[in-house]
Chains A and B, each alone.
Chain A
């Protein structure tokens, strides 16, 4: 397929996943901050400030409601859900001949629904929550339509690859901000908010017997292969999609690199003792993902590279 189209699809996937995970995080923080601090010791620090830091906006310390507002419907902020969805729509418009009409409509309708302050009633204090709900539902619908209506060919592979790399990146960002750093963390209090922020609460309860404290939650989000949004599961799936999209996967740099990362994550999971510090691994993994992103651009999108400058 055309390199430019593959590039657009990859970024379409990234933008959709970005919007969805922003929505999940905003929703979790909104609910958490509404309730005040709980009695049991929190093992992680993740609030509206942390949320902004995830998008590189750490310098300001605005009030919580403002921070959440900025991340939902503020088209001027590149990290807002609306901005992500708008970028997704622009991308979808460019690849309208490749994605199904249904999928384009789903993306377009989502954008129209978010523009101009969103739906009536969103201005109320519950605005960020309602907008997040909407984005969550709509992205679920968009991915659902994509899975049912798109051919499982190269195009779908690149769309999925973008989504997967963005999900793992979002999870890693969140972990790096929320996890207590280095040695100063003897405390291991509850970390429910992390699970809520990626929508993995229920899965965690079913997969892990330990209470949802920082350590087991972080391990779960990093290593649990059975949970589809964990970093390890995403990396596994990335390996799958690149292997099937690549003409010569045996000597393809991105495929080899992803495959090494998958093995490395598996090794760490088994080798690391309980209670070991995880921020270092998060950082390394994220750097490795950035290198994969680069390799992908070089191997598949060569010639379309000029278009990448605008991201």
Chain B
């Protein structure tokens, strides 16, 4: 620390004890990796950040990177659309930190994939007495319809997003697995593009690993698992339709991969083969990246009242004529009750010790555990097992008496539908407030993994941030925002793409003529003395 500029925090920013702040040490000085970033933020100042925020909202509105606050109406006036809340202070992860996370995630996803395969085939983990069968069978997303089906390559969880949090001791923990249809990757890419446009000065002293290759990774993985013998596989993205809150992402991925975005009405199954209706008649589709839940995909096998489904799709899937990502029935692996067993799965299937830990979780089906939890409701987080997106979650220390009482009744009635977890002290990252000053806000991290021939994980992921002071709920549907997540290059990573663009020397091209300018000049010069 050579100058007073670096020692003082920006605008009197104070990390909040006892939480870990990722950019500032407890005494208020920037951490070494954040030094240059903090200086640039200081140079921008509150006014600069507010101005950049205004430009950000205008750009997002213009590009239609929005989400609908509630009600989901797509009416003529469209007033419910809000620009996606991106915070302008990035989150910085060192290359070393990231490598540990990446190894942990790959291990975990491999184990989850084994588990799905096992559940629908030999059920060895049940026979070994590690996971109780009644728990598996009672999962909301356990799908009897796909028993015995093994998709190409044995891959079920093609796209996975595990939610990570950072405890106050600095360790990373998995708080939730998402292996059904994790969403948010489009925001990772759009956030990076927006940050580069809005606050390029922040990137000045850093080499941030790129994220924009995700769609190609996904396309590669889908092609790799598609059952097509002769020609290049036709991949499609299947969306429930423009009314879906994540429609932006569906269209984004289809566009970025250069494949068709289909709805149920575009698809038809004939003789156990999936086709799409085109202007030239029916054309075959080999791989479907589906963005709707099992329940709705096929009215013949799942919910019969589904209007969003394609009759016969599961038959086609069973016949092996089409690959589905993620495979039907994977939801059984991201049930919150199954979550407790993931470390055991890693030991059982892979024979390894888990690299990333779970948050301590209580299964309420045991009477004595239930009793303990009911006595400590105000100190725990209570979650419904079959939900996602933060729905139905109660955070004990933040809930009032009435809420706790209501929860007590609900849990006592159906203990198997709930789990309890210790409250995690989520780490904080400085976040721009309404007045342009920085305040600590809690964050989590959702990295995205693609499982095709191997597991690839895009550096970083979606950092979600609770925008309200003290809040621990980061879901965007409940007032959360997001941050660009930087994984720094430290020249020590095997899967780095190549040397940075700025460092490469272009080849010399001595034969290159710039237009005909030289020729014209010569001509003019030759003409001149002739006069």
Contacts and interface: CB of A to CB of B under 8 A. Distances in A.
B255 A304 contact: no
Interface string B229-257: 00000000100001000010001101100
Contact of A115 (B64, B77, B237, B276): B77
A112 B62 contact: yes
A109 B74 CA distance: 17
B76 interface: yes
Of listed B237, B262, B263, residue having the most chain A CB within 10 A: B263
A115 B277 contact: no
Chain A interface residue number, banded: 35 or more
Contact of A112 (B61, B242, B261, B276): B61
B212 interface: no
B524 interface: no
The B contact surface, by secondary structure, is mixed
A108 B62 CA distance: 6
Interface in B98-140: none
Of listed B61, B63, B252, residue having the most chain A CB within 10 A: B63
Interface string B55-80: 00000011110000000001011100
A247 B254 contact: no
The A contact surface, by secondary structure, is helix
A1 B260 contact: yes
Contacts of B263: 4
Chain B interface residue number, banded: 20 to 34
B279 A300 contact: yes
Nearest to A248: B280
A83 B280 CA distance: 32
B219 to A, nearest CB: 13
Interface of B: 61-64, 74, 76-78, 237, 242, 247, 251-252, 254-255, 260-263, 265-266, 268, 276-280
Interface in A239-276: 245, 247
B242 A2 contact: no
A179 to B, nearest CB: 35
B266 A3 contact: yes
A304 B265 contact: yes
B419 to A, nearest CB: 38
Nearest to A91: B242
Interface in A1-39: 1-6
A4 B280 CA distance: 12
A90 B276 contact: no
A219 B17 CA distance: 82
A198 interface: no
Given A5-B260, A75-B77, A97-B255, A245 B279 contact: yes
B99 to A, nearest CB: 34
B62 A105 contact: yes
A90 B278 CA distance: 21
Contact of B262 (A2, A101, A307): A2
B207 to A, nearest CB: 27
A105 B78 CA distance: 16
A229 interface: no
Nearest to B263: A4
A158 to B, nearest CB: 8
A10 to B, nearest CB: 10
